[in-house]
Structure 1
Amino acid sequence: MSQQAPEAVHRLVPSPAGRTHVVEQGTGPLVLLVHGFPESWYSWRHQLPALAAAGYRAAAIDVRGYGRSSRPGDLPAYRMPELVADNAAVVHALGEQSAVIVGHDWGSVIAADSALLRPDVFRAVGMLSVPYAPRGGPRPSTVFTRLGEEREEEFYVSYFQEPGRAEAEIEPDVRGWLAGFYAAFSADTMPAPDAPGPHFVGRGAQLRDRFPTGRLPGWLGERDLDVYAGEFERTGLSGALGRYRNMDRDWEDLADLDGTPLTQPSLFVGGGLDASTTWMADAIKAFPTTLPGLVSSRILDGCGHWIQQERPAEINEILTDWLAALPA
């Protein structure tokens, strides 16, 4: 039954990262919310009160390297098993033995791997924007290099690999860069289909050269942008980019999971205009095999990548309906 949500509470809890910043709201079964790049706990600002009002204890974290969570200086500290360990530690630090985990963008991948590696802790998994695709295939860096070579450009993931390179583009104007990045993948501001793709960098160019300019997406107010920019201006971008710089390490670390289906009850919601959905259409088609516990899969027409911020009411309804249908 819906109820009036209490105020959100910020806290720092011990984790393998050092400490993890958690923003929680509500009481009831624990739902851990994991953000993507380049975001923070704040990307769940619409979901925290809605889940709390529906009778859940919603807890949104800053992933290690972001916001008020610890930022280890060692690049391998951002490999996937370390992030999974943080998530399990947060659940236990909050006094719980298990939780439902929901992630967006990189958080979707982190949530899926958390469920795979710690099924004793994570009893169900929700994935927004990035569908589940089992570990397998060639080394990721090889795949992304080929993607760029096919177009005589550089794929953004490859562009992010060299420490310091993307930081040199972003950090002199964090707010402007973030505004362009968010606009590039939002339904109401993304470039036209025939415009140069913002996922790719021209030779000798910068990623921001293809970002839209002039207006913010409808979901992003000036104050919202201030929150995101303020955090990254304080922390820099290296911690956040550490996730991209460990993809080959993840591929090695998770070799034992090659082809493994994710069996817990699951949910996927994607945006119809999001490249993560269209490029990974084969992964979505494979869900009957790769997600045998799938409860619901939805594609929101006309929606971009920042799905829980672009369509908060729809996502809140989808999440609460899915949570209510899960086994106690």
Structure 2
Amino acid sequence: MLLVHGFPESWYSWRHQLPVLAAAGYRAAAIDVRGYGRSSRPGDVAAYRMLDLVADNVAVVRALGEESAVIVGHDWGATIAADSALLEPEVFRAVGLLSVPYAPHGGPRPSEVFARMGGDEEFYVSRFQRPGRAEAEIEPDVRGWLAGFYAAMSADTMPAPDAPDPHFAGRDGALRDRFPAGRLPAWLSEHDLDVYAGEFERTGLTGALNRYRNMDRDWEDLAALDGAPLTQPSVFIGGRSDASTMWLADAIDAYPTTLPGLTGCHLLDDCGHWIQQERPAEVNRILTDWLASLPA
């Protein structure tokens, strides 16, 4: 199994899954995605395009002496996992998607879509586009920014539904202006926060943010996949309190067409975005049951 994390995390986000998967008899590897942690951090923004990340995943499988693997991803990792399976179906024979639903390629240019969101406010994905801009907000206080970002998307600490949405910021404000302050979510200990913050303090955020800066490039690179269903055996796990599952509810409804190999769609009550950390026991049970059901 290859486990692929999202933003802003690392291999460490799979710490609750690795021992359980190993105990169940599976060989599992959780990587630092290109740009994160102990992985390489090329200087060229284009080096973070999806084609390169998929090639990285194939190379990891080969380096471990395997011909194929089950791939499971969370957040950006879910998109990377889906595209890995679309582009390399002989290597990635089954796909687990956490938090971010599968939606086929196609439609308008992504930067144009995100620029239209929010009216007078700016969506976080748009704020991440210009190199250096988000870094200037985050890097002076990496630990504090991460704590707020994690809390903003966790079920037990996220802002109330009638509070300003932390996914957006005023044109003259900062994203962190809307983050909860003073309390960590239950899943995140001070030690866990130290692990995440320590890596980003060492590496900076540019490598991680460069994933967002390649969405239009991916849209062009992968145009041949427009509308393509993901046919391998698959499973989806989302949190009902996660904006990703709420905004992309139509994508979930379309799964009979877009994920014809889907064997389970699980939406967990009172769960936010950091699903394998917020609800590790349930995620582990779902994943191990799903793995046991796959063809040998």
Query: Which TM-score applies when normalising by structure 1?
Result: 0.90
Question: Is it true that 1:184 corresponds to 2:152 in the alignment?
Answer: yes
Q: Find the counterpart in structure 2 of residue 127 from structure 1.
A: 97
Q: Secondary structure at the match of 1:46?
A: coil
RMSD: 0.4
Alignment of 1:13-32 (within 5 A): 31-32=1-2
Q: Secondary structure at the match of 2:267?
A: strand
Q: Find the counterpart in structure 1 of residue 27 from structure 2.
A: 57
State how far apart, in whole Å, the 1-side matches of 2:164 and 2:114 are: 18
Q: Find the counterpart in structure 1 of residue 223 from structure 2.
A: 255
Higher relative contact order (Cα pairs below 8 Å, separated by 6+ residues): 2
Amino acid at match of 2:290: W
State how far apart, in whole Å, the 1-side matches of 2:127 and 2:171 are: 11
Q: Find the counterpart in structure 2 of residue 284 from structure 1.
A: 252
State the shift of 1:58 in Å: 0.9
Match of residue 318, structure 1, among 273, 286, 289: 286
State how far apart, in whole Å, the 2-side matches of 1:99 and 1:203 are: 44
Q: Find the counterpart in structure 1 of residue 44 from structure 2.
A: 74
State how far apart, in whole Å, the 1-side matches of 2:132 and 2:189 are: 29
Q: Find the counterpart in structure 2 of residue 20 from structure 1.
A: none
State the shift of 1:203 in Å: 1.5
Q: Find the counterpart in structure 2 of residue 228 from structure 1.
A: 196
Question: Is it true that 1:299 corresponds to 2:271 in the alignment?
Answer: no
State how far apart, in whole Å, the 1-side matches of 2:94 and 2:51 are: 18
State the shift of 1:207 in Å: 0.6
State the shift of 1:48 in Å: 0.1
Q: Secondary structure at the match of 2:230?
A: coil
Amino acid at match of 1:224: D
State the shift of 1:120 in Å: 1.0
State how far apart, in whole Å, the 1-side matches of 2:277 and 2:209 are: 22
State the shift of 1:176 in Å: 0.3
State the shift of 1:118 in Å: 0.3
Match of residue 207, structure 2, among 232, 235, 239: 239
Amino acid at match of 2:36: Y
Amino acid at match of 1:246: N
List runs of 5+ in structure 1 lacking aligned partners. Answer: 1-30
Q: Deviations over 1:290-318 (max 9, x none)?
A: 00000110100110000000000000000
Amino acid at match of 2:19: P
Question: Is it true that 1:97 corresponds to 2:82 in the alignment?
Answer: no
Q: Deviations over 1:244-280 (max 9, x none)?
A: 0000000000000000000000000000000000000
State how far apart, in whole Å, the 2-side matches of 1:53 and 1:272 are: 29
State how far apart, in whole Å, the 2-side matches of 1:295 and 1:53 are: 23
Q: Deviations over 1:197-225 (max 9, x none)?
A: 00001120001000000110000000000
Amino acid at match of 2:235: L
Q: Percent identity?
A: 82
State how far apart, in whole Å, the 1-side matches of 2:228 and 2:220 are: 15
Match of residue 135, structure 2, among 153, 167, 170: 167
Q: Find the counterpart in structure 1 of residue 163 from structure 2.
A: 195
List runs of 5+ in structure 2 lacking aligned partners. Answer: none
Q: Deviations over 1:141-168 (max 9, x none)?
A: 00000113xx310000000000000000
Q: Secondary structure at the match of 1:298?
A: strand
State how far apart, in whole Å, the 2-side matches of 1:242 and 1:122 are: 25
Q: Find the counterpart in structure 2 of residue 7 from structure 1.
A: none
Give the count of matched residue pairs.
296
State the shift of 1:181 in Å: 0.2
Q: Deviations over 1:51-95 (max 9, x none)?
A: 000010010000000000000000000000100000000000000
Amino acid at match of 2:287: L
State how far apart, in whole Å, the 2-side matches of 1:244 and 1:67 are: 17
State how far apart, in whole Å, the 2-side matches of 1:113 and 1:169 are: 30
Question: Is it true that 1:153 corresponds to 2:121 in the alignment?
Answer: yes
Query: Which TM-score applies when normalising by structure 2?
Result: 1.00
Runs of 4+ in 1 over 6 A off after TM superposition: none
Q: Find the counterpart in structure 2 of residue 44 from structure 1.
A: 14
